[in-house]
Amino acid sequence: MKLPSIKLFIFIILVFNLSSRISAKESEATYKIELGSINIGSLRWAINIEEDNYKTTMFLKDKGLFSGFYSFDGEYLSEGSLLDGVFVPSRYKQLWKTKMKKREVEIFFNNTEVTNLILNPKENEVARVKYLNVVGLIDPLSSFLNILTKNGSAFKTIDGRRLYKMSLQVKKKDTNNISKKIYITDYFNIWADHKRNELKYIVTKQSLLNNEDKFFPNNIKIKHKGLVFKLTKI
């Protein structure tokens, strides 16, 4: 290959890499997690949007003296396509670890249809609810993103162990902020013979002054197992 050809080849590669970076939108936020007035851990949330594809990840980690009492480590991933502005997943993965247990979930989708569900450890129970080849299901992260970015108000959701509807039922707006209360309804446990819903609602507060905050609320409150967890962006 002649020298001018080599230079042209390198130039094309550089331009391609630069244009790929420009077309990609990467955003990240970090939250402290509090139970009452106690700082129990942190959440790092990242979103990468490139053309019509997205990937979002969350990493949870315990912190401080609380970790000696109750340690936790969580990793969540959702990736898929943006179809008419709606987040539609192709894959969801979850890893949750404490001192007592470790659970992994991986779900594969095809146009909102669950094609495969992998659990580790494997579930010995028979599924009480049909979930395979059911159209209209997406993962929790995608449901949450859709509600935050105003792309719908109710989404049928599967997290590997439960089926439920994530629904925006209360929305308040002032000059600078918008608050949303998301309820968990139509709850079914896939592997257990009960409908006990441990996740009750999620409340978010987003700024209307910064376009970056359409993904990352300033505050998130989660009621789970009777406790209210507060997440504050730092």
Has residue 179 been placed in a domain?
Answer: yes
The partner residues of 83 in beta bridges, in order of sequence, read 86
Q: Which parts of the chain are beta strand (E)?
A: 24-35, 38-50, 53-62, 72-83, 86-98, 102-110, 113-120, 154-158, 162-173, 177-189, 199-207, 219-224, 227-233
Confidence at residue 218, expressed as pLDDT on a 0 to 100 scale: 94
Has residue 80 been placed in a domain?
Answer: yes
Site of tokens 């992998």: 118
**Long-range contact pairs involving 19-27 (C-beta distance under 8 Å, separation at least 24):** 20/50, 23/50, 23/51, 24/48, 24/49, 24/50, 25/49, 25/50, 27/212, 27/215, 27/216
Which residue, among 29, 90, 80, has the nearest Cα to 54 in the 3D structure? 80
Has residue 228 been placed in a domain?
Answer: yes
| Cα–Cα separations (whole angstroms), residue 30 to 22, 94, 168, 231 | 23, 19, 24, 9
pLDDT in tens, the chain (234 residues): 444 444 444 333 333 343 334 345 689 999 999 998 889 999 999 999 998 999 999 999 998 665 566 688 999 999 999 999 999 999 999 999 988 889 999 999 999 999 999 999 999 999 999 999 999 999 999 999 999 988 778 999 999 999 999 999 888 888 889 999 999 999 999 998 876 778 899 999 998 887 656 789 999 999 988 899 999 999
Q: Collapsing DSSP states into helix, strand and coil, what is residue 127?
A: coil
Has residue 64 been placed in a domain?
Answer: yes
Confidence at residue 141, expressed as pLDDT on a 0 to 100 scale: 97
Has residue 195 been placed in a domain?
Answer: yes
Retrieve residue 101's tokens: 């247990």
Which residue, among 7, 74, 3, 2, has the nearest Cα to 45 in the 3D structure? 74
The whole-angstrom separation of Cα 98 and Cα 189 is 22
The whole-angstrom separation of Cα 170 and Cα 215 is 18
Mark 109-130 as b/e (b = at least 16 C-beta within 10 Å): beebebeebeeeeeeeeeeeee
Has residue 211 been placed in a domain?
Answer: yes
Has residue 14 been placed in a domain?
Answer: no
Has residue 56 been placed in a domain?
Answer: yes
The whole-angstrom separation of Cα 104 and Cα 208 is 36
Total domains, the chain:
1
Confidence at residue 26, expressed as pLDDT on a 0 to 100 scale: 80
> pTM here?
0.84
Domain hosting 129: range is 25-233
- State the Cα angle at 137 between 93 and 30, rounded to 5°: 45
Confidence at residue 211, expressed as pLDDT on a 0 to 100 scale: 63
Confidence at residue 7, expressed as pLDDT on a 0 to 100 scale: 44
Q: Are 141 and 92 in contact (CB under 8 A)?
A: yes
